[in-house]
Structure 1
Amino acid sequence: MEKQYEKKITWTIKNFSTLQSNEIYSDHFVVGDSKWRLVAYPKGCGGGINKSLSLYLDVVDSESLPSGWKRHTTFRLTVVNQISEKLSQQEEGQCWFDENATSKGFSAMLPLTKLIDVKDGFLVNGEVKVVAEVGVLEVVGKSDVLVETLLLHESIDVNGFQVLPSQVESVKTLFDKHPDIASKFRPKNPHLRTTSLNSLLSLTEILCQSPEELSIDDLANAYSTLTCLTKAGFKLDWLEKKLKEVGETRVQEIEEELKDLKEKF
């Protein structure tokens, strides 16, 4: 009988062949009342060092959980074969995570010789895809805070900002296009960070509209929001330029509309 898992995520590791880090991490995700992440060792670790890709499931912020906490967990990790899924490499585990064992997985997930050979189908266009399926069977030491703040909203960490699943792609695209956008962002409070990021996303959505859909008040509010976000530390030169262009276009359109009205009367 096929096992049932609470959560299934796909992690795409880009530019795998040129990675310099000994270990890399996926975005956080919530299962049960805890935050989790995947940890990959591109050059292996433990018994798999310099021989295999090592892949682990890791409890995030375990120090914030109550003393004596435990999570009985079942999980399945898959390195996807992008030519034929039938050839994907898959490993399963079922065990307890606790204060002394916050990370579980496989040191020899996939031989590096197979992984880096593009003919084998695991490395395509520089990307390696990993699928994780996770289910929590039993909880000892429940975290009410995580239940209230994370489970209900299922926020996900993207570049240090907590975002909703529906926002993940937009935020990732934003950081891919502008990697240094938050390099000088000052607020540390997670609520302020989330509020600021939401304002930025709203602003980018507004500027995706055609100029004729924006009123002068809309543009004034956009400038005000941009000023606040810039003062908070976001690097938004590119957005300021776009807003200026939209504003100039809209002013020209309004002037033309007024000219047409004058000619009619």
Structure 2
Amino acid sequence: MKDQEVKVLTNVKFTWTVNNFSEVTREKLYSDTFFTGPYSWRIGICPELSISKSVKLMSINLYAGDNVNFSVERISGNFKLSLVNQVETNSTIIKESENIQLNQGDNNVACACSLLIRCFNNITHGCPGFLVNDTCIIVAEVSVNDLGLHDHNHPPSFMDFKGLCKIEKEYVEVLEESCSKYPSLVECHINRKRSQRFNEYSFTALGKLLHFLKTKKVKEMMIDDACKELQYLWDEVEIRFDDLSWLEPHVKSALTFFEKAAKVEKLKGDVADLEEKAKTMKAEAIALDADLEKTKKELAIAEDGFDLDDQLGCGIP
């Protein structure tokens, strides 16, 4: 199969046009998902966020993740949100967040940038342009770097996988091998007509799991984080593929290594404690032997010329 290198975008500008704004009745409204390389983003708005009876805000938030999966464990970059003034661009309201590191939050999302608009309805009347023909426009600008994620000297490259999605090159070989033996892995995603993003998450998780099992050594399972990583990958893969009966024994066996390793470590500690206790007891026994020999000698001296059967008045005329 010929490698198809995919350029990973690190900058993107996404424009969300919210039509019929006055008819929005939901507490939260989300834009379509957009991407920078493998990272997914959405804009979310709360049209009327009540702070008090007299004060209402419209909140605009840029979220990493799409409530299905957080793209990576950590994302670092610069982010900007703009509420566009369609009449006077100089009046556009902008909020920027620079050098922000995002970590996974609740529901597999994290907020990268927030913009609060006080009394939005009053603003639109006092400063025309934010709401034109019942339409408002919000722009998100995302600039992502791979700080803490990849080696910049060896950035990840992506390859087309079975026409379903793009996968990091290092996982493709193990995926090809497993999918050739178990074609249902691919068939179940084709038959269900899953989205490219869903497929990417599924096969990336499976690729990471297979790579983990093929590259990790037993001694590495003695580290708690390694066990947690394997369990997380297995939980992720298990809900995305129909039949993993061929893989489950290997995963379960690997997970037991941690339990066995923990038991081995405990027993090693017990042996060390008992050996130390035995040394102490041996030293005490040696000291007791010495005391015993000394006492025996003292007894022999004390008994010399001393007979308990002698009469008390022996020798009296």
TM-score in terms of structure 2 length: 0.41
